[in-house]
Structure 1
Amino acid sequence: MFYNNAAVLPYWIKEVTKVIHYLGPDNVFVSIVESNSGDNSAELLEDFDRILKTMGVKRRVLTRDTSIERPPSQLMQETAPPRITFLAAVRNLVMEPLVQHGGYTRVVFSNDIFIEAESIVELLDTKGGDYDMACGLDLSFWGLYDQWVLRDRLGRMASTLWPYFLEDTGFRAVMADEPAPVFTCWNGIVAMRADPFLPLALRTGQLSTSPLSRPLAATHPAYPQPQNLTPAATPPVRFRTSAPDECYSSECFLLPYDLRRQFELNNIYVNPRVINGYMWQWYVWFKWVTRHWAVKWWIERVENGNGVHLAKFILGDPGKIWQWDGGECHPVRGSFGFCVSVCSS
């Protein structure tokens, strides 16, 4: 998914091309959607399409796409409902070739980020491949960027500051530079199982044939469902918007939430070694400057997580955080923008 990304695309294309060579052109399918750009993003992606063709890579590269109407700019603020509806639809459009033809066991979904080829391979190899979904770390300005989506393994909000998690397991994992179990994540780039997206006839046996161990919450749009329904027999998952009684959430939060609740795919991790960013200067800062051995020593041995609990960013009024089936909820329902609050809870 790309929109006005001429600044990031040359780097992204170069690194993704390296990954394709590493994995083997016969082993990947590339699906890209670009729309409504006012720069030369479309031309850059059309050049990439030609490169993929010469490599023999199966692909679908849609540029200047008009099949999904983009809302007016005033309705495209970060948490605005029209924006989430639009993004969910575009993400589903990206997934169409997989849904229609299957043939793959893993999906790597990248946002418009700066990232190294080695980091993408690292993501794919999270926990030696023993995961249902693995996410990178998108870092910017103060630290952790996408806190609307990320929840620790207990469903609680994270901190912007390293090591990000306030619960002990995640805290210690990030301190050791190891994957941390989480409830939900996205954070720039993810690798996940392909089967939940596929029609039943195209699935490869990745999903359980036992009934769900817990019923769906009554707030879920698929509720009620047969008591004996198994993950293997559950209809394909799609990116979606929040149901009326759910916590108002990003489409990128609801996807891992649905993987948990409908498919019991609970092995979800953030890999702190998979650093990525949306802006070059912050990517350089967090990828190389803060990873320099001397700076890293200071962060780990001197700062040692000091103050991490003081830097939660809440989208909305901190006094209105509430609990639901998906954990702690940012109080932004119906907002056409967001208020960021720093709290010390």
Structure 2
Amino acid sequence: MRISWAFWAFFSTLRQVSPYAIPTFIFIFIYNQVYLYWLATVGMGSWTPAWPSNRTRLVFLMVSIPTWGFVMLIWTIGYTVLRTAWVRRTSRGEYYEAIELDSEPRSSRNFRRGYVQYRWHLEVLVYLSLFICGLFMLSTYELPGDVRFKPDIQAAVKSPRPEGHGNGEKVFIGAMFYNNEHVVPYWCDEVIKLIKYLGTDNVFVSTVESNSNDKTPALLEKFGSRLTALKVQHRILNHDTSITRPESMDTAPPRIRFLAAVRNKVLEPLVENGGYDRVIFSNDVFIESETMLELLKTRDGDYDMACGIDLSYWGMYDAWVLRDRLGRLVSSLWPYFLEDAGMQAVMKDEPAPVFTCWNGIVSFRPDPFLPVNLRTPGRLSTAPLSKPLPPSHPSFGQPADLSPAQTPPMSFRASVEGEECFSSESFLMPYDMRRRFEMNDIYLNPRVIVSYDWKFYVWYKWVLRHWMVKWWIENAENGSMMHLAKMVVGEAKNIWAWDGGECQPWW
């Protein structure tokens, strides 16, 4: 009895302090918990341009308000139920009619009781509405355009068939891994879903793992077993030591030469046999199966190379590789491009024409990598190059009348030291496709969002693509703050232009 009395006295006291004290306290507590969770995830000292305070506050409110509505709904109803139970429990003895001692007119007391009851119903309605709005926002977090191929993938997973559910295009899927036990299971599951859509007869999977000291090799072995069960052609190389890993993997020529060699190793089954219409080459990124299909279907297949966009702590991650259609550096902040065509395309969620890109995952035509006899006729031009190669290019000196169709196969490579800008092998690949094979239709698809870190993947793939947050970014911010600032590695004054676009000097 004493415990029940203390419990009731506690709630009654809080209720009588102020009708707004408890709701305010609960809201502040919930908002603070959301902020602390974000702070623990992102960390102190987040880069303000990539994490504008008003944008993050909007996200906090989108989470806090519906949660607060749910908590207050439980509180309001729970308090009433407890109060009713308490009154019934403490009502004892015979019933006596109370003597009217209050001088307030009966009509005023009835009005006050009616107001209190009306206010209770209004509060319940408001809190319930906030909670329902929260459920609605949660259920509509994916934009229709971002998941337009999701039903196709789901249908294919339910009823897979060897010939696939697409257009019969044959796809070579390649990837390389190193200490990626956090991403490999997710990546493998999504690739399996994509394969069921493309058709098990239409896919070859090639992965190379080397020098890992975690569970990556074992996870890839299980992936290989799954591919075998599905009768998918594949080559899963684990513990590969055929390419010597440099002692330091700092960004320098040894690292680039190593990565280029490993990428070429991944493509060996393709180069030896040909027979595929597209190549998907993925880094160790988080990505959905429908997003990979989105990449494949960029511009309805009318492209030579299409890239995703890798997003991380400061926004767009691979600023070293990406160049706009004029060969110039880009920004790491939305809408990324400083020239109008690319900027407008990203703002409309359409593929943006670029000079070079990679950004986590790419899809490209394989013909430049294939020997001449394995190429599909008609895909490469039979006319001589319209622009001769620069003297700095390692293939400089080839016959002036050599056509792309007859040009020897290319491969991933490192820069020619002292002649070319120090560049990534991922930059030089699309550059060579342009300069040696005149494959100029290269696009970045802003719907193909990937990340190397799960927390940033969730933030950029789902939180910032939520229709409310997206509206805020496009209309309230509208590319404000530092979106026109280039991300420059090294001294900005040392940026210079060459045949491959603007150099980005390293330290």
TM-score, shorter chain, exceeding 0.5: yes
SS at match of 2:267: helix
* 1:1-150 paired onto structure 2 within 5 Å: 1-72=176-247, 75-77=248-250, 79-150=251-322
Greater fraction helix: 2
Partner Cα distance (2:483, 2:465) in 1: 22
Q: Choose which of 322, 325, 336 in structure 1 pairs with 2:496.
A: 322
CA gap 1:269/1:224 in 2 versus in 1, 3 angstroms: same
Partner Cα distance (1:64, 1:315) in 2: 33
2:476 matched to which residue of 1? 302
Task: Give deviations 1:255-281, integer Å, cap 9, x for gaps.
Answer: 000000000000000000000000000
1:202 matched to which residue of 2? 374
1:270 matched to which residue of 2? 444
User: Contact 1:162–1:308 (CA<8 Å) still a contact in 2?
Assistant: no
Unaligned runs of 5+ in 1: 333-337, 339-345
2:410 matched to which residue of 1? 237
Partner Cα distance (1:2, 1:63) in 2: 9
Instruction: Tell me: higher relative CO, structure 1 or 2? Use CA pairs within 8 A at least 6 residues apart.
Output: 1
Partner Cα distance (1:177, 1:123) in 2: 13
Runs of 4+ deviating beyond 6 Å:
none
User: Contact 2:335–2:483 (CA<8 Å) still a contact in 1?
Assistant: no
Does residue 256 (structure 1) correspond to residue 400 (structure 2)? The answer is no
Partner Cα distance (2:426, 2:299) in 1: 22
CA gap 1:176/1:310 in 2 versus in 1, 3 angstroms: closer
1:179 matched to which residue of 2? 351
Number of paired residues? 330
2:485 matched to which residue of 1? 311
TM-score by length of 2: 0.65
SS at match of 1:312: coil
Q: Choose which of 323, 328, 344 in structure 2 pairs with 1:151.
A: 323
1:341 matched to which residue of 2? none
RMSD between aligned residues? 0.8
Does residue 291 (structure 1) correspond to residue 465 (structure 2)? The answer is yes
Unaligned runs of 5+ in 2: 1-175
Give 1:105 shift: 1.3
Task: Give deviations 1:151-176, integer Å, cap 9, x for gaps.
Answer: 00000001010000000000000000
SS at match of 2:226: helix
Partner Cα distance (1:239, 1:153) in 2: 21
Amino acid at match of 2:220: L
Partner Cα distance (1:254, 1:15) in 2: 28
Partner Cα distance (1:308, 1:94) in 2: 39
Amino acid at match of 1:177: D
1:217 matched to which residue of 2? 390
Give 1:314 shift: 1.1
Amino acid at match of 2:389: L
Greater fraction strand: 1
User: Contact 1:36–1:64 (CA<8 Å) still a contact in 2?
Assistant: yes
Partner Cα distance (2:437, 2:461) in 1: 34
Give 1:231 shift: 0.4
Partner Cα distance (1:97, 1:307) in 2: 47
2:159 matched to which residue of 1? none
SS at match of 2:279: strand
Partner Cα distance (1:121, 1:3) in 2: 25
Bigger radius of gyration: 2
Partner Cα distance (1:155, 1:309) in 2: 18
Give 1:195 shift: 0.6
SS at match of 1:302: helix
Amino acid at match of 1:266: N
Give 1:311 shift: 3.4
Amino acid at match of 1:105: D
User: Contact 1:105–1:193 (CA<8 Å) still a contact in 2?
Assistant: yes
Give 1:315 shift: 1.3
User: Contact 1:123–1:271 (CA<8 Å) still a contact in 2?
Assistant: yes
User: Contact 1:164–1:308 (CA<8 Å) still a contact in 2?
Assistant: no
